[in-house]
A and B are shown apart, each in its own frame.
Chain A
Amino acid sequence: MTDERTQPVAVQFRFDGTALEAPSELTIAGGLVFNGILSWRTTRFAGMPRGLFCGIGTCFDCLVDVNDCVAVRACVTVLRDGDVIRTSCSTGGRDNA
């Protein structure tokens, strides 16, 4: 979902095995929402799906696993070409974008 303005070159990435494309200079959350994907984490007790919430890095609801890092904040982490992104169900880890 994006507006009408011209988007620059695309980056290619994978989410839970699916190949996706998004404009460059998006966050991981931006790239997933751009593709209509709204959830990429399950909560540790109830297993409920979660995605973007605060959008500014404070709520940690949008944690996602990227390449070899677990529990990265999708809303403040830049999406890079070739990123392999997985739904996060970890209970801890390093937010080391």
Chain B
Amino acid sequence: MRELVVVGAGPAGMAAADAASRRGVAVTLIDSASRLGGQIYRQPLCDPDGSGPSRPAGPALPARFRSLQNLHVEMMLGVSVWSASRGPNGFTLRLDAMSGGRDTTVDAQALVLATGASELVLPFPGWELPGISTAGAAQALLKSQHVLVGRRVLVAGSGPFLLPVAASLADSGAKIVAVVEACSPSQKIVKLAHVLRYPSKVAETLGYVQRLAIHRVPFLSSSALIRCEGNDRVQRAVVARLDRGWVPIPRSERFFEVDAACVSFGFVPRLELCRQLALEDSHDGVHPSASAVHGALMATSVPGVFVAGELTGVGGAVVAELEGRLAGHAAASYLGRAPGPVSKSECEKVSSKLRRASSFADLLDEIYALQPGWTTWPTDSTILCRCEDVAWGTIRRAIDTGTRTVQAVRGLTRCGMGYCQGRTCGPALAMAIAAFTGACLGDSGDLHSRPVAIPVPLHEVAKWSNPWEFEASVGNASHRRDELKS
């Protein structure tokens, strides 16, 4: 039985491990990547069979996290957690080590879940063509491997992430034909004025704008990539101007010759382990996904389980790190380490910084709120479920017959039943149901409940000695969504 297991080694998980271990807790830090840092501080690849990386790449891990090595934090890297369950004395995680060999389960008295987010891409005709990737994929390939996704690249979608991705691609020699942002800054002028209260963020944004200006990259706001064309790979991108609700304005199309397009509409929390442990989550009806419910010190509805980072609502690296620090302290207190005066004052300072960082994240949310007009971009033949080739028209017909929940559409159409288990199409499907039926987003369910969080070989599942336990975990993961269906 381990004392505290932290799942996810991004800023939230690293901060939690650091804070808890400084209070004397024996911490185990697990991540599916072979290096610390998560997506934001992505490190060069490390071949699990070979030596370490021989060249510097990507942003260095901030010094405050490098001390994790000296704090006797047990690292389990290159290890994916595919199941989490509750037992009488604590929690059990089931692991799939990509390089094989190590423990297949770990038990813990307490957990910090910091599993982060995956990227949201809204569908449009041709979005499945090779050469079109998420903005995060382009960034990851560049940061950790120095490989460009293409030579002539369009960066499109919505949100603050588009600018750094376009800037780093341009700095590395790609021709960015345009950055296409669906939101309109001019319509959000009052909200933009509030951004001025965060000078460091303004400076960061101006830095990206300056880099894009040096490379003469056009920035098109109130516009969207509404179609891609090409013969087995993307060759042409069609961009249209949008009205306030994101419906394309007729005859406003512009055409770009490209060999790659990078798309991002923000991020969605990865709630699989939260659902398996039956942690309470909630949907605010605005964001594309539910997020984990937590108290001021990151405690969840299940005693001994704490959450931090994007699981609590996507807020970026600064919020994630502050939440992680609080979660680490809270877990230490839960495990009986009395908070000394130093940790008390640190928690107060962190909480105050977190309030400010969270209000900035909320402001960005308002500026970049998704508008339902995106549902006019796909045609009936546009693929929504990339794994199972389920077309938009099939989804529409299912909804037209009266189907009102994500689970029911999934059952009728196979949308979300493929390898990715609905991670890619699930949020778009939920938003489409809300848009077509007028229902409140969040009332139609989602595809976050997965008894097996990542695909694993059957022999891993077979190792589960007590089949009833497995069934109980499946029940935990799905019971609340079933209530919604009835």
A residues neighboring B (CB under 8 Å): 1-8, 23-27, 29-30, 33-34, 38-39, 43-46, 48-61, 63, 71, 75-76, 78, 80, 94-97
Asked if B118 lies at the interface with its beta carbon under 8 angstroms from chain A, I say: yes
Does B45 contact A52, Cβ atoms closer than 8 Å? Answer: no
Q: Chain A nearest CB: distance from B249 CB in Å?
A: 29
A-B contact list, 7 entries, CB within 8 Å = A2-B148, A5-B55, A7-B146, A24-B54, A48-B383, A51-B131, A78-B47
A52-B141 contact in complex given A1-B148, A3-B148, A80-B47, C-beta closer than 8 Å: yes
- B147: chain A residues at CB < 8 Å are 1-2, 26, 30, 33-34
Task: Give which listed residue, A1, A5, A23, A60, contacts B387 with CB less than 8 A.
Answer: A60
Asked if B138 lies at the interface with its beta carbon under 8 angstroms from chain A, I say: yes
A59-B420 contact in complex given A39-B232, A52-B137, C-beta closer than 8 Å: yes
Does A55 contact B48, Cβ atoms closer than 8 Å? Answer: no
Number of interface residues of B (CB under 8 A): 53
Give complex CA distance A8, B55 in Å. 7
- B134: chain A residues at CB < 8 Å are 53-55
A60-B420 contact in complex given A55-B136, A95-B455, C-beta closer than 8 Å: yes
Q: Chain B nearest CB: distance from A39 CB in Å?
A: 4
A78-B45 contact in complex given A25-B53, A61-B386, C-beta closer than 8 Å: yes
Q: Which residue of B is nearest A33, CB measured?
A: B147
- B420: chain A residues at CB < 8 Å are 58-61
Q: Which residue of A is nearest B172, CB measured?
A: A3
For chain B residues 101-159, which have a beta carbon within 8 Å of chain A?
A: 118-119, 128, 130-134, 136-142, 145-151
- A54: chain B residues at CB < 8 Å are 118-119, 133-134, 136-137, 424
Does B130 contact A51, Cβ atoms closer than 8 Å? Answer: yes
A75-B137 contact in complex given A2-B146, A26-B147, A60-B420, C-beta closer than 8 Å: yes
- B32: chain A residues at CB < 8 Å are 57, 76
**Which label, helix, strand, loop or mixed, suits the secondary structure of the A interface?**
loop
Q: Which residue of A is nearest B169, CB measured?
A: A3
Asked if B419 lies at the interface with its beta carbon under 8 angstroms from chain A, I say: yes
Does A39 contact B55, Cβ atoms closer than 8 Å? Answer: no
Does B141 contact A29, Cβ atoms closer than 8 Å? Answer: yes
Does A59 contact B424, Cβ atoms closer than 8 Å? Answer: yes
A94-B457 contact in complex given A49-B130, A50-B130, A63-B419, C-beta closer than 8 Å: yes
- B245: chain A residues at CB < 8 Å are none
- B138: chain A residues at CB < 8 Å are 55
Q: Chain A nearest CB: distance from B131 CB in Å?
A: 5
Does A4 contact B173, Cβ atoms closer than 8 Å? Answer: yes
Does B136 contact A1, Cβ atoms closer than 8 Å? Answer: no
Task: Give which listed residue, B53, B133, B146, B386, contacts A52 with CB less than 8 A.
Answer: B133
Q: Chain A nearest CB: distance from B109 CB in Å?
A: 29
Binary per-residue interface labels of chain B (396-422) against chain A in the complex, 1 for a CB within 8 Å, 0 otherwise: 000000000000000000000011100
- B424: chain A residues at CB < 8 Å are 53-54, 58-59, 61
Q: Chain B nearest CB: distance from A77 CB in Å?
A: 8
Give complex CA distance A45, B136 in Å. 27
Q: Chain A nearest CB: distance from B417 CB in Å?
A: 11
Q: Chain B nearest CB: distance from A96 CB in Å?
A: 7
Give complex CA distance A56, B136 in Å. 8
Give complex CA distance A38, B147 in Å. 13
Does A53 contact B423, Cβ atoms closer than 8 Å? Answer: no
Q: Chain A nearest CB: distance from B64 CB in Å?
A: 24
Does B386 contact A59, Cβ atoms closer than 8 Å? Answer: yes
Give complex CA distance A75, B145 in Å. 11
Q: Which of B54, B149, B423 has the most CB of A within 10 A?
A: B149
A55-B172 contact in complex given A8-B54, A33-B147, A49-B130, C-beta closer than 8 Å: no
Task: Give which listed residue, A24, A48, A59, contacts B423 with CB less than 8 A.
Answer: A59
- B136: chain A residues at CB < 8 Å are 54-56
A50-B141 contact in complex given A56-B136, A61-B386, C-beta closer than 8 Å: no
Binary per-residue interface labels of chain B (37-59) against chain A in the complex, 1 for a CB within 8 Å, 0 otherwise: 00100001101110001110000
Asked if B338 lies at the interface with its beta carbon under 8 angstroms from chain A, I say: no
A1-B151 contact in complex given A33-B141, A55-B138, A56-B140, C-beta closer than 8 Å: yes
Asked if B388 lies at the interface with its beta carbon under 8 angstroms from chain A, I say: yes
Give complex CA distance A51, B137 in Å. 11
Q: Chain B nearest CB: distance from A46 CB in Å?
A: 4
Give complex CA distance A2, B423 in Å. 30
Task: Give which listed residue, A39, A44, A60, contacts B130 with CB less than 8 A.
Answer: A39
Q: Which residue of A is nearest B100, CB measured?
A: A96
A53-B55 contact in complex given A5-B146, A26-B45, A38-B131, C-beta closer than 8 Å: no
Q: Which residue of A is nearest B459, CB measured?
A: A94
Give complex CA distance A77, B39 in Å. 16
Asked if B472 lies at the interface with its beta carbon under 8 angstroms from chain A, I say: no
Does A38 contact B130, Cβ atoms closer than 8 Å? Answer: yes
